[in-house]
């Protein structure tokens, strides 16, 4: 029960609904046990003794019991559902909140489909047990206790014979739980992997089709689906082995009951009606005991799901806000002091002893081959990751001295791969400033050279975008992403290859607009094209996590170093193409 104890604070606040449901369940169970008693009275008193005048009273009492049972069943089921639904509502909310605060390091290893599976099917499995599993376990316990009480009232020896089967059934049930729980955990894991496979395939459908890899993807999906099938078959095999055994023990008990009970009736030690009632009552015990397998089934699934939920809820938060963190205006002075950083422990260093100073309003260009550490620098400024050594300062303070919201709301990001939400263009631009006015939104779009193409769309700024900006070209998505960053009015602006998806003419227009936007802001431009960096106040050339050159465009060209080689490669290729065109 450790899993349920750890999750207790989610469902315990709603315990009153559970106990009200339980109170109703006691009435339902008690009335259920009355049925065999009514049957016994009907056989012994009405049929055998001829007290036919009792029939109207017995019938009326039986109907009243049915009505009471119907009402109490309604309250039991409704309140049980209310308890489960409200509990997992809180679980789902906290899971989602936890996912918002987990660092990039967590998402580097997480699979989207698996996370979706945990927030949907695992939460629902846990809810189902809270709503029905707990109460079913209590119903079984109450039904057995009530039935045994009546059976001992009728005949102690016969009741003892009946109880002889219970230890065997209990042992079988516990063995069943021991085998089935690991199997269900395997099912939940394989289902998460299956979800991941589907999610990745749909997200990357353009790549799949462009490379004609449909058959390969079908094969990968088939493997994941087969793994899920095999896990389910393993569980079904366990179920198929244990259920007949439980049923056999129950039937042996029923045969023993009829044999010994028949003897007691013939010996006038037991009334016939009592034996009939006894036979019904024994199935009120054996039936729930065998049904305990289904409850164990639900319990095992809920436990496996709960463990998966706890893996998220108890995940280590690498980026923690200090209690003394400040909330104050940021001018945008960024300083790196001997910063070393690795994404994965014992892996190659992404940054090695990086130091530089970027005063407010300066434009810093970052260039170098893929994996040189350009993006790593900007991700440390925003505290998406923590450095292993050294300090990252903003306005002379370590970045961890600021409240995360304060720090990040002062940094505008335009990522290499723009992400747009499935909502209107207006809401996408104003995503970082929900209360932005139309004037602010339009101004940001104009500065990003996006206003003209937006106005050409059927509903202008109110045009709904498809998933991930479906319906827009790469350049259009990039310009809306730039407008979103401008709308935030940040002190620090990060352009991570922001113009890589636009043509040369559009790039020129955006660069012209951004010159005005960058005034008074510390700007980091990550680019592979030197044309995007020419105007930078300082350019940092990185190779394998180290700054190998720094300076202005003209200085670096005259230095005859790595920057010169990049320049020659880009511009010689252009000259070669122009010559070929002639």
Q: Any idea what the CATH number is for the domain that residue 264 is in?
A: 1.20.1560.10
Specify if 581 maps to a domain: no
Rounded Cα gap, residues 415 and 418, in angstroms: 6
Q: pLDDT per residue over 309-346, tens digit each?
A: 888 888 888 888 888 889 888 999 999 999 999 988 77
Residue with tokens 């087969």: 226
Q: pLDDT per residue over 126-150, tens digit each?
A: 888 888 888 888 888 888 888 888 8
The confidence score (pLDDT) of residue 578 equals 47
The confidence score (pLDDT) of residue 391 equals 93
Tokens of 535: 């105007």
- Give the residues across from 160 on adjacent strands: none
- Give the residues across from 358 on adjacent strands: 334
Among 438, 468, 489, residue at a domain's last position: 489
- Give the residues across from 526 on adjacent strands: 366, 496
303 and 434 both lie in a single domain: no
Higher pLDDT, 443 or 514: 443
Q: pLDDT per residue over 365-386, tens digit each?
A: 999 888 888 889 998 998 988 9
308 and 424 both lie in a single domain: no
Task: With CA atoms as reference, report the closest residue to 276 among 447, 151, 413.
Answer: 151
In this predicted structure, the answer to whether residue 577 has a pLDDT above a threshold of 50 is no
Sign (positive or negative) of CA dihedral 527, 529, 534, 538: positive
306 and 424 both lie in a single domain: no
174 and 297 both lie in a single domain: yes
Q: Specify the 3-state DSSP secondary structure of 102.
A: coil
The confidence score (pLDDT) of residue 582 equals 45
Among 489, 524, 547, residue at a domain's last position: 489
Rounded Cα gap, residues 289 and 168, in angstroms: 11
Tokens of 259: 């044999």
Specify if 209 maps to a domain: yes
Rounded Cα gap, residues 377 and 226, in angstroms: 43
Specify if 522 maps to a domain: no
307 and 428 both lie in a single domain: no
In this predicted structure, the answer to whether residue 162 has a pLDDT above a threshold of 80 is no
In this predicted structure, the answer to whether residue 580 has a pLDDT above a threshold of 60 is no
167 Cβ contact list (under 8 Å, min separation 6): none
Angle at 68 between CA 66 and CA 72, to 5 degrees: 115
Higher pLDDT, 33 or 576: 33
Does an H or E element contain 334, and which?
A: strand 334-341
Give the range of the structural domain holding residue 480, as residue numbers without chain letter: 420-489
Higher pLDDT, 91 or 48: 91
Contact (Cβ atoms closer than 8 angstroms) between residue 25 and residue 138? yes
Question: What percent of the chain has pLDDT above 90?
Answer: 13
Rounded Cα gap, residues 502 and 477, in angstroms: 10
Rounded Cα gap, residues 163 and 160, in angstroms: 5
The confidence score (pLDDT) of residue 547 equals 92
300 and 435 both lie in a single domain: no
Quote the mean pLDDT of the chain: 82
Specify if 532 maps to a domain: no
Pairing type for strands 351-358 and 334-341 reads: antiparallel
Pairing type for strands 522-526 and 363-367 reads: parallel
CA–CA distances in Å: residue 431 to residues 378, 478, 487, 526: 21, 15, 9, 23
307 and 426 both lie in a single domain: no
Does an H or E element contain 542, and which?
A: strand 538-543
CA–CA distances in Å: residue 495 to residues 48, 211, 415, 510: 94, 30, 7, 12
Q: Specify the 3-state DSSP secondary structure of 243.
A: helix
Contact (Cβ atoms closer than 8 angstroms) between residue 441 and residue 426? yes
Contact (Cβ atoms closer than 8 angstroms) between residue 221 and residue 196? no
Q: pLDDT per residue over 113-132, tens digit each?
A: 778 878 888 888 888 888 88
The confidence score (pLDDT) of residue 354 equals 93
170 and 308 both lie in a single domain: yes
Q: Strand runs (DSSP E) across 388-453, as ranges?
A: 389-394, 397-398, 411-414
CA–CA distances in Å: residue 404 to residues 305, 312, 319, 330, 484: 32, 21, 9, 12, 20
The pTM for the full model equals 0.72
123 and 8 both lie in a single domain: yes
**C-alpha Rg value of the chain to the nearest Å:** 35
Q: Report how many domains make up the chain.
A: 2
Among 489, 510, 543, residue at a domain's last position: 489
In this predicted structure, the answer to whether residue 53 has a pLDDT above a threshold of 60 is yes
Cβ of 388: how many Cβ atoms within 10 Å?
A: 13
309 and 443 both lie in a single domain: no
306 and 437 both lie in a single domain: no
The confidence score (pLDDT) of residue 206 equals 58
Does an H or E element contain 411, and which?
A: strand 411-414
Residues comprising the chain, all counted: 582
Tokens of 106: 């967590």
Contact (Cβ atoms closer than 8 angstroms) between residue 543 and residue 368? yes
Average pLDDT over residues 470-488: 81
Least confident of 265-274, 315-324, 432-441: 265-274
Q: pLDDT per residue over 281-300, tens digit each?
A: 887 877 777 677 677 777 87
Specify if 582 maps to a domain: no
Contact (Cβ atoms closer than 8 angstroms) between residue 541 and residue 561? yes
Specify if 360 maps to a domain: no
The confidence score (pLDDT) of residue 468 equals 62
Specify if 428 maps to a domain: yes
Average pLDDT over residues 515-523: 78
Rounded Cα gap, residues 68 and 447, in angstroms: 72
Rounded Cα gap, residues 63 and 533, in angstroms: 87
Q: Strand runs (DSSP E) across 223-314, as ranges?
A: none
Q: pLDDT per residue over 61-114, tens digit each?
A: 888 988 988 999 899 989 988 998 898 888 888 888 888 888 888 887 777 777
Sign (positive or negative) of CA dihedral 53, 56, 59, 65: negative
Least confident of 21-25, 223-227, 239-243: 239-243
The confidence score (pLDDT) of residue 394 equals 94
In this predicted structure, the answer to whether residue 23 has a pLDDT above a threshold of 80 is yes
Rounded Cα gap, residues 134 and 138, in angstroms: 6
303 and 424 both lie in a single domain: no
Q: Any idea what the CATH number is for the domain that residue 460 is in?
A: 3.40.50.300
166 Cβ contact list (under 8 Å, min separation 6): 285, 289
Tokens of 223: 């493997």
Contact (Cβ atoms closer than 8 angstroms) between residue 461 and residue 380? no
Rounded Cα gap, residues 373 and 543, in angstroms: 8
Specify if 540 maps to a domain: no
**Per-residue confidence at 222, pLDDT binned at 50, 70, 90?**
confident
């Amino acid at each position: 029960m450790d899993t349920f104890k750890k999750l207790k604070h989610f469902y315990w606040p709603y315990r009153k609904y559970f106990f009200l449901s339980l109170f109703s369940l006691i009435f339902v169970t008690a009335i259920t046990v009355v049925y065999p008693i009514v049957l016994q009275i009907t056989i012994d008193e009405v049929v055998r003794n001829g007290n036919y005048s009792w029939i109207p009273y017995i019938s009326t009492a039986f109907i009243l019991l049915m009505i009471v049972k119907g009402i109490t069943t309604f309250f039991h089921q409704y309140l049980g559902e209310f308890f489960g639904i409200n509990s997992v509502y809180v679980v789902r909310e906290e899971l989602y909140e936890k996912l918002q605060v987990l660092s990039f390091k967590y998402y580097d290893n997480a699979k989207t489909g698996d996370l979706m599976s945990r927030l949907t099917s695992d939460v629902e499995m846990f809810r189902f047990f809270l709503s029905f599993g707990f109460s079913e376990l209590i119903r079984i316990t109450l039904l057995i206790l009530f039935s045994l009480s009546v059976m001992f009232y009728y005949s102690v020896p016969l009741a003892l014979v009946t109880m002889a089967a219970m230890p065997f059934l209990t042992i079988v049930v516990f063995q069943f739980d021991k085998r089935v729980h690991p199997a269900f955990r395997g099912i939940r894991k394989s289902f998460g992997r299956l979800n991941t496979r589907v999610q990745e395939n749909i997200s990357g459908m353009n790549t799949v089709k462009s490379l004609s890899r449909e058959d390969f993807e079908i094969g990968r999906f088939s493997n994941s689906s087969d793994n899920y099938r095999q896990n389910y078959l393993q569980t079904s095999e366990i179920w198929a082995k244990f259920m007949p055994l439980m049923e056999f023990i129950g039937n042996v008990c029923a045969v023993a009951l009829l044999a010994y009970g028949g003897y007691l009736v013939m010996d006038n030690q037991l009334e016939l009606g009592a034996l009939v009632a006894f036979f019904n009552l024994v199935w009120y015990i054996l039936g729930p005991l065998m049904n305990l397998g289904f409850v164990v089934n639900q319990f095992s699934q809920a436990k496996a799901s709960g463990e998966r939920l706890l893996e998220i809820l108890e995940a280590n938060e690498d980026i923690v806000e200090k209690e003394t963190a400040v909330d104050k205006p940021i001018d945008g002075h960024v300083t790196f002091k001997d910063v070393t950083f690795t994404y994965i422990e014992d892996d190659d260093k992404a940054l090695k002893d990086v130091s530089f100073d970027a005063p407010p309003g300066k434009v810093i260009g970052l260039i170098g081959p893929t994996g040189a550490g350009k993006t790593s620098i900007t991700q440390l400024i925003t505290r998406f990751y923590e450095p292993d050594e050294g300090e990252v300062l903003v306005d002379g303070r370590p970045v961890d001295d600021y409240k995360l919201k304060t720090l990040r709301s002062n940094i505008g990001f335009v990522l290499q791969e723009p992400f747009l939400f499935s909502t209107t263009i207006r809401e996408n631009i104003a995503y970082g400033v929900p209360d932005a006015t139309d004037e602010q939104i339009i101004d940001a779009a104009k500065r990003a050279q996006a206003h003209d193409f937006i106005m050409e769309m059927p509903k202008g700024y109110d045009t709904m975008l498809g998933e991930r900006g479906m319906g827009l070209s790469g350049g259009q998505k990039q310009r809306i992403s730039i407008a979103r960053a401008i709308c935030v009015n940040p002190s620090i602006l990060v352009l991570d290859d922001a113009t890589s998806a636009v043509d040369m003419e559009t790039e020129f227009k955006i660069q012209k607009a951004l010159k005005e936007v960058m005034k008074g802001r510390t700007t980091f431009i990550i680019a592979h094209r030197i044309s995007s960096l020419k105007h930078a106040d300082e350019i940092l050339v990185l190779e394998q996590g180290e700054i190998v050159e720094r300076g202005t465009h003209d200085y670096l060209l005259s230095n005859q170093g790595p920057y010169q080689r990049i320049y020659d490669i880009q511009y010689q290729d252009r000259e070669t193409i122009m010559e070929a065109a002639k």
